[in-house]
Amino acid sequence: MRGTLRKDEVEVKADYEGGSNSDDASSIGKSDILSREGVDPVLSAKMHLVNNAIDEIGFTGYHWKLFVLNGFGYAVDSQILLIQSIIAGKAALEFNPGFKNGMTIAVYVGMLVVSVISAQLYCARR
């Protein structure tokens, strides 16, 4: 049974090779970069399948919310590190810490803990 293909595998193979089973919505066989990747035809067919599904779904309100929230998350992370870099030298002069990089480590550990807790709370709601 190793040499036999199922019907869906034959359709995927025909689509990948530019056969007659491809429809206009499919990006397989077109002149895009992904169709020229002949290294792994199964992987390429899977990539095209996922890309076509994403194109069919479109950019919904959920995606806009995700885009905005991630943007704010990246902005806050950048601001935290910027503020930390500005005050680290003066804080070290004022408090004379025994551990030189303690503030930087505290910032990164704090961001890690908050992100893990936020992810757990978000997943618990779903």
pLDDT exceeds cutoff 90 at 109: yes
How far apart (Å, rounded) are the C-alpha atoms in residues 48 and 54? 10
* Confidence class for position 113, pLDDT limits 50, 70, 90: very high
Q: What pLDDT shows up at residue 22?
A: 46
**CB neighbour class for 51 (10 Å; exposed up to 12, middle 13-18, buried from 19):** middle
Q: What is the pLDDT of residue 68?
A: 93
pTM for this prediction: 0.43
What is the sign, positive or negative, of the torsion defined by CA atoms of 47, 35, 53, 14? negative
- Whether the CB-CB separation of 28 and 16 falls below 8 Å is answered with yes
The tens digit of pLDDT for each residue in 81-91 reads 899 889 888 88
